Structure 1
Amino acid sequence: MGGDGIVLDYNNMLAPRLGGGHGIDPARLDAMAERFRAAHADAQERRRSGELGFYALPDDVETVKSIRQFAEGVGQTFSTIVVLGIGGSALGTIALRTALLHPFWNELGDEEREFFPRLYVLDNVDPATIAPFLDRLDIRRTLFLVVSKSGGTAETMSQYLIIRQRLQAELDDGYVRHLLFITDPKKGVLREIATAEGIATLPIPPSVGGRFSVLSAVGLLPAAMVGIDITGLLAGAAEMRERCDTDDLHRNPAALFGTLQYLADTEKHANVQVMMPYSDPLKDVADWFRQLWAESLGKQKSRDGDDIFVGPTPVKALGTTDQHSQVQEYVEGPFDKTITFLAVREPAVDLDIPKLHAELGELGYLGGHTLNELLNTERLATEAALAKRGRMNMTIELPRVDARSLGGLLMLLEIATVYAGHLYGIDPMDQPGVELGKQLTYGIMGRQGYDEFKQEWEGREPKRDEWIIR
């Protein structure tokens, strides 16, 4: 389904294409129409009540205005932007950067970047990376975007404390202009610090969770500062939101994606769901999707409070790279997977393959074609190989990799996640498993102490020396 925009081809998810008892019976998909109407109605009600704040992000004119003012004013006095964040505070920005900037953006000279700043995202706390990065960074020309809705994210705040100390040592009171906090509009540690010290801020709406925040200031501010078309991003998202504003299962692309993946998992035992872009610019969309799908749908409790332990396992791959590392298992391994290909109809660039060594059959057949022909041929061949072996797969095709298309794709996948959550009977907006880890980290670092916890944990019975290889 589609047209001039994003196209969803789900033929290879269905039994008539796969045969051998594999795939989803089209009649079974049709029978989901009523359940989907309930899922759509629930999503619309939660949207009206303000629970699903990501739906409203394309309409947040005031935040976009503030972003533009900062990005086009003070923001352009910096040569480097560094995002401090993790999970939903980082993955969306990384996906935007990879998709919409030159692949070697940070290596380009000032003129080649049209004097927009370089953009880095620190999304982990391993000092093996952070220490050498900070050692080579000119912090006098760097703006640090500290992204944490709660202001209590241990990884992000540890980064912030290190950066702040260095800024104050280098710039004294001038540190303030090198920080901008993206956080809750009213509460949290970052909000308190910003209010007390006059640090610039932008809000994350309270009803927008981290993994749904890419089209908020979390993703839009760094994008705007490096010249990405945020108006196009939001326009594409709004168009997809409108396209999905129907309770007709067969006309709603997000509904079809979510429902087919749900049926594959619960009725065909395909609980591993692979996203495989055949496009380097889209490779980090698969990484962003992994968090969205896993953190939203992997739940112990139903919305009624019952233990149900549900959720597919998302996996990322990249074509053609992973044809040489993963596809063997996908084609001949267990029938426990679906594959979603991301394809691009109009690539921005291409390269001719020269007609050399024509006398050698192993090389001669390549000459006269282009790299995009090869890329797309390999994708089609992989689709066909999977289908011939009864493996469910579908393709989401973007007309091109631009801001408008990317905004539409992100919104499609976010809405699909909400629908899938209803079908599973869980709340896709919470994350109790993540919160447990945060609480344990806080308890260990803040009260008990690492050494004491390690000693206590490692001393638990049964624990035997013969189960340790030294």
Structure 2
Amino acid sequence: MAAKGITFDYANAMSTMIGDQHGITEKELKGLQGKADAAHKRLQELRTSGKIGFFDLPYDDNLVRAFMAISNDIHRNFENFVLIGIGGSSLGALCMINALCSSIHNFLDAPKRRNRPRIFIMENPDPDAVKELLDILDLRVTVFNVISKSGDTVETMSLFMHIYNIIQRRFSKAALSKHFIISTDPEKGVLREIAVADKMKTLPIPPNVGGRFSVLSSVGLLTAAAAGIDIQELLAGAAEMDKRCSSSKLTENPAYLNAAIHYIAHTKKGKNISVMMPYSSALRTFSDWYAQIWAESLGKRMSRAGKEFFIGQTPVKALGAIDQHSQIQLYVEGPNDKITTFLSLAKFNKECKVPKVFQNIASLNHLADKDLGELLNNELIATEFALYKAKRPSVKFILDELNAKNLGGLFYLYEVQTAFIAELYDINAYDQPGVEEGKKATHALMGRDKKEDKEKMKEVRAYLKEKKSHKCL
């Protein structure tokens, strides 16, 4: 399935390459088409009814204009932009910055950054990391984008409260409206209440878009715009991919086809692990974004029909060529329980040739005058080959180049793929009950005084008592 921009190569997942035991047969794909048609119909219903909103994010022109206005203000007045968020509120933005900005963006002088601010992501409430960052930032020229749809994300709100207090004490309460931009629910929630009370700029997170599907909303796009990334191209790429993913036929829809391959590999071939392995350092954090959307959407105990079945593939992150020297030994000779996805670039943005040195050393002469991009892509082919020989399935997405349009298309493809495979599994891709259990326990441990917190704390104390009865070394 080839197209300009993004090409999907799935040959090495098929039985014609690696055999029937571990490869997908044409019969198996054809046999899934009826189920695929029903899943497609269900997704179309969710889209047209407005219950699931990520499908239509590429077409919100009004929101783009709002981003551009705010980002222009950021460029004029600030040298540092700090995103405060976690999970779906940070991973997509981090991926866009790593993929589309210089890897040394924050080290460049302002003119070389095109006068764009330095970009920092504050995700984890690790006191050492938080203090280290705040100690080096000139807060007079720093703006913070706080992202929480619900407004009660414990990590994000704790970080926000800490920095809110610093800004208010160091400058004034009036300064809060200058130094904070709030992305949250458009109508409700404690974060919106705070923003309105302190006259902070706000951007809406659509109520029908879940966090891990929100990269192409205000959650990801403001950070991208602040960094000078062309957000219109990001959305254009997503809109183009929407058209490519409009057919219910598996062989005409790259998102559905990859979902079907992973579904069959998991349910019929025993591939319980999905490895994401970019051969591009710039795409390294796409694997982090993928790990969340795949794990949190698909790791479920119950089907929609109420059947307990504990479903889901475990996503694993790798990076070529680095992890050829760590993980590939396991993938080639360990348990045949994985399907690997490679991400590759047909063309890198820069050239870097190996010079003709050490010509008296015959064992190095074949490397001379070759580009490092050629080396990296040949290493990918070599890894594909090793997996193929060991009858291990793999697929590959090839980007003709790494740009905003292709990255937007890749995000959108994987969102559709995740939604579609969830329909094949008959699970809800948009909730996360397993995460909620930990959230509730955290609030109880931190002393929140609601009735449900008191009940939860009884459970936690019983757990800690039982745990204490066991010895530690």
What band does the TM-score fall into relative to the shorter chain?
over 0.9
Write out per-residue CA displacement over residues 417-468 of structure 1, whole angstroms, 9 at most, x where no aligned residue. Answer: 0110001110111111111111111122124799998764331279333xx2
Asked whether 1:87 is paired with 2:87, we answer: yes
SS in 2 for 1:359: coil
Q: What pairs with 1:20-419 in structure 2 (closer than 5 Å)?
A: 21-173=21-173, 174-419=175-420
SS in 1 for 2:367: coil
SS in 1 for 2:331: helix
Amino acid at match of 1:326: Q
Pick from 441, 465, 472 the counterpart of residue 459 of structure 1: 465
SS in 1 for 2:113: coil
How far does residue 213 in structure 1 lie from its aligned partner after superposition? 0.6
Which stretch of structure 1 is more off in the superposition, 450-459 or 11-20? 450-459
Structure 1 unaligned residues grouped into runs of 5+: none
Which stretch of structure 1 is more off in the superposition, 348-357 or 138-147? 348-357
Shift in alpha-carbon separation, 1:5–1:464, aligned structure 2, 3 A:
closer
Write out per-residue CA displacement over residues 328-379 of structure 1, whole angstroms, 9 at most, x where no aligned residue. Answer: 0000010100000001112111211112223323322211211011001100
Partner Cα separation in structure 2 for residue 202 and residue 373 of structure 1: 43
Amino acid at match of 2:201: A
Partner Cα separation in structure 2 for residue 432 and residue 85 of structure 1: 20
SS in 1 for 2:268: helix
SS in 2 for 1:111: helix
Partner Cα separation in structure 2 for residue 357 and residue 300 of structure 1: 59
Partner Cα separation in structure 2 for residue 197 and residue 414 of structure 1: 35
Structure 2 unaligned residues grouped into runs of 5+: none
Write out per-residue CA displacement over residues 180-216 of structure 1, whole angstroms, 9 at most, x where no aligned residue. Answer: 1000000111111112221110000000011011100
Partner Cα separation in structure 1 for residue 288 and residue 470 of structure 2: 38
How far does residue 74 in structure 1 lie from its aligned partner after superposition? 4.8
TM-score, with structure 1 as normaliser: 0.97
Partner Cα separation in structure 2 for residue 361 and residue 279 of structure 1: 29
Size of the alignment, in residue pairs? 467
Amino acid at match of 2:66: S
SS in 1 for 2:207: coil
Shift in alpha-carbon separation, 1:436–1:464, aligned structure 2, 3 A:
closer
Partner Cα separation in structure 2 for residue 74 and residue 246 of structure 1: 41
**8 Å Cα contact 1:297/1:310 also seen in 2:** yes
Amino acid at match of 2:442: T
Partner Cα separation in structure 1 for residue 103 and residue 44 of structure 2: 38
How far does residue 308 in structure 1 lie from its aligned partner after superposition? 1.5
Partner Cα separation in structure 1 for residue 403 and residue 274 of structure 2: 25
Q: Which residue of 2 aligns with 1:18?
A: 18
Amino acid at match of 1:342: L
Amino acid at match of 2:413: L
SS in 1 for 2:284: helix
Partner Cα separation in structure 1 for residue 435 and residue 461 of structure 2: 24
Amino acid at match of 2:245: C
Which stretch of structure 1 is more off in the superposition, 357-366 or 283-292? 357-366
SS in 1 for 2:332: helix
Amino acid at match of 1:253: P
**8 Å Cα contact 2:441/2:457 also seen in 1:** no
Write out per-residue CA displacement over residues 63-116 of structure 1, whole angstroms, 9 at most, x where no aligned residue. Answer: 111111111135531100000000000000000000000000001001111111
Q: Which residue of 1 aligns with 2:431?
A: 430
Amino acid at match of 1:209: G
How far does residue 130 in structure 1 lie from its aligned partner after superposition? 0.7
Partner Cα separation in structure 2 for residue 426 and residue 323 of structure 1: 35
**8 Å Cα contact 1:76/1:225 also seen in 2:** no
RMSD over aligned CA atoms reads: 1.7
SS in 2 for 1:112: helix
SS in 2 for 1:459: helix
Partner Cα separation in structure 2 for residue 410 and residue 17 of structure 1: 28
